[in-house]
Structure 1
Amino acid sequence: MSKDTRIAITLGDPAGVGPEVIVKALTALPEVERANFTVVGNIEALERANKSCGTSLAFSTTPRAGAIAVDEVEIDGVMPDIGKVSLVAGDASVRYIRRAVELALAGDVDCIVTAPINKEAMNLAGHHYDGHTGLLAHLTGSKSSFMLLASERLNTIHVSTHISLRGAIERAKTERVLATIEAGHQHFLRIGRKARIAVAGLNPHCGENGLFGTEDTEFLAPAVQQACAKGIDVVGPISADTVFARAYNGAFDLVVAQYHDQGHIPIKLVAFDSAVNVSLGLPIDRVSVDHGTAFDIAGTGKANHVNMLSAISYARLIATSRTNAL
């Protein structure tokens, strides 16, 4: 990673495993690299994670050799208990994200890495978003964004994410499918690759010529045709029961999934601990771990930090592409 590349890591829900996977991941990095990171959150939560995980990181709100930089964010109340859904924790998680977005929009950091938040806690605190995706779109003034799940052998980008299956079907229209293809194509170009893209069908067997639905021929196929006309290497729609296996075995670099579970299930089957969530279509860069707050093990020090290391690694990749473009 370039010495000029700066990455902010948000604490996530302070009652969850976010602080623990952060301190474990930063401990695993060479000390010289830690100077490139700022944790947006609270030193109290990080010290609590230090104790749970048996790590010995030092934290500071002012530049200090050997200490992890912390952008301290005031929370509304005392630090919440570990492992419990709470209004204070939900509100704090949003405050961390808001501050990190401010840093990114100001150009003070090149990428944000987010630890997991709890949607129930966030909504309990009055922040009614579907998660990071909707919140980040709101904070950056973006009309919409796209979720890409990235792993070593399988990558998916989603036409829709946190909406009902009925709503997802309604959203799978030509304009949105085309925009999703283009977002994936541009992202791969940015990281130095021209992606071979496949569009997964919406209906069983892509509708079997109208027998099981007409959406694939009516909406998805025209999106693929229009993308091809723009010079994008894309095929489809291809039946979803085969396209992910073909991509995993090397036929495609990216699969356009039509809804949340269609794309998430195959990724979590083959790369549960290593896949990361990347937000596309925003004016800032954001990568996240692809797991939840795990309240059942929070505070025990058992949380696996491999996913956080993967998120940090991917953030380095896209942050470097940002600084190289300047």
Structure 2
Amino acid sequence: MQLRSAPLAVSLGDPAGVGPELIAEAWARRLEHALPPFAAIGGASLLVEAGASRGIELPVEPIASLKDAAEVFGRALPVLGELDGSWRPGFPDSAGATLALASLKRATELTFAGEASGVVTAPIAKALLAEVGFDHPGQTEFVAAACGVAAEDAVMMLAGPQLRTVPLTVHVALAEVPGRITTDLIVRRARVAAAALERDFGIEAPRVAVAALNPHAGEGGKFGDEEARIIAPAIKALRREGIAATGPHPADALFAPHARHGFDVALCMYHDQALIPLKALDFDAGVNVTLGLPIVRTSPDHGTAFDIAGTGRANPGAMIAAIRMAGECAMRRAANG
């Protein structure tokens, strides 16, 4: 059970990317954004250096246990563990990937054990991690596996102030998408999303808008039959279960301002169908939330941005939003037992 008093655990991400400096910036703005207590998992010296690149004199304080984080948080950034490394912004290497993976593992373990109320993961470089033994498509799948949850039951949701989207298929070629969409997959992902919106976001009877795959929702079969053959039956099944599902909605109109008020989450058929509107509307405040886990996990919805790391140009909005959202979800879980 999540504990209301437990802090969040924040993994470092790749130290050559923007993660460390944005963690430092989030702590510096903790009062402005009313952020819950959090602790960085390792990286004490590189966090100080990364903060300095943004003009932040970051006080860090080592802690022996996450129980000490809340008391420290007001005066310094709590850092748990002796994991550390050199800060070389824009120059990723295997040593940095090893540190990123170790921090991610420890942060996830602490959260699964209940010592942290949630885990916030800073961006990683998947190709570099693969070189040091990371065999998952991304952090979502890693955290799911660490929690004993099947990858297909760990649902990625992108959430911002104006929109929430769930991609049905994620890191696959566009040509493979039609063959991967099934009625059962739509139903399973929608169930997880609806349950999580109610439990973690406090939305009663969540409304799920299901996007079409083809232009004009297939135009009565003229542009494809997936809508009638696969998507519509899934929506009917969801309605029979009491889930407020609608669609298939033509994707070119689903995200218009007047349409967005009609649903709480949009279930999209493929990666870009979900991420393009989210990033167009909420790029600097977008959060990647993993639904369907026994723990709370969020991440800023952007990458390592090696090209601007250390320049002070990276916007901290998504990291701040990820920390705030993790805290809010954890508090709801604690309040509901």
SS where residue 149 of structure 1 aligns?
Answer: strand
Report if aligned partners of 1:80, 1:86 keep a CA contact under 8 Å in 2.
Answer: no
Return the TM-score normalized by structure 1: 0.93
> Which residue pairs with 2:292 in the alignment?
281
Report if aligned partners of 1:153, 1:248 keep a CA contact under 8 Å in 2.
Answer: no
CA positional deviation for 1:140: 2.0
Q: What is the identity percentage for the equivalent residue pairs of Structure 1 and Structure 2? A: 37
Amino acid in structure 2 at the alignment position of 1:156: T
Q: Report the Cα distance in structure 2 between the residues aligned to 1:116 and 1:287, rounded to whole angstroms.
A: 11
Q: Does 1:261 align with 2:272?
A: yes
Cα RMSD (Å) of the superposition? 2.1
1:11-63: CA deviations, max 9, x gaps?
A: 11111110111111110112997772111121021111122112122212224
CA positional deviation for 1:167: 3.2
Report if aligned partners of 1:228, 1:234 keep a CA contact under 8 Å in 2.
Answer: yes
Q: Report the Cα distance in structure 2 between the residues aligned to 1:160 and 1:233, rounded to whole angstroms.
A: 21
Gaps of 5+ in 2: none
Return the TM-score normalized by structure 2: 0.90
1:298-318: CA deviations, max 9, x gaps?
A: 122222111111111211210
| Match of residue 98, structure 1, among 82, 102, 105 | 105
CA positional deviation for 1:171: 2.1
1:182-234: CA deviations, max 9, x gaps?
A: 11111121122132211001122222222222222111111110110011111
Report if aligned partners of 1:160, 1:168 keep a CA contact under 8 Å in 2.
Answer: yes
> Which residue pairs with 2:115 in the alignment?
108
Report if aligned partners of 1:73, 1:96 keep a CA contact under 8 Å in 2.
Answer: no
Amino acid in structure 2 at the alignment position of 1:233: A
Q: Report the Cα distance in structure 1 between the residues aligned to 2:111 and 2:13, rounded to whole angstroms.
A: 17
Greater Cα shift, 258-267 or 162-171? 162-171
Amino acid in structure 1 at the alignment position of 2:45: E
> Which residue pairs with 1:225 in the alignment?
236
SS where residue 209 of structure 1 aligns?
Answer: coil
Q: Does 1:252 align with 2:263?
A: yes
Report if aligned partners of 2:159, 2:288 keep a CA contact under 8 Å in 1.
Answer: yes
Alignment of 1:171-186 (within 5 A): 171-186=180-195
Distance 1:213 1:35, change over 3 A: closer
CA positional deviation for 1:247: 6.6
> Which residue pairs with 2:312 in the alignment?
301
SS where residue 256 of structure 2 aligns?
Answer: helix
CA positional deviation for 1:143: 0.8
Gaps of 5+ in 1: none
Distance 1:267 1:13, change over 3 A: same
Amino acid in structure 2 at the alignment position of 1:74: L
Q: Does 1:192 align with 2:202?
A: yes
Q: Report the Cα distance in structure 2 between the residues aligned to 1:177 and 1:279, rounded to whole angstroms.
A: 17
Amino acid in structure 2 at the alignment position of 1:192: G
Q: Report the Cα distance in structure 2 between the residues aligned to 1:270 and 1:325, rounded to whole angstroms.
A: 32
CA positional deviation for 1:5: 4.2
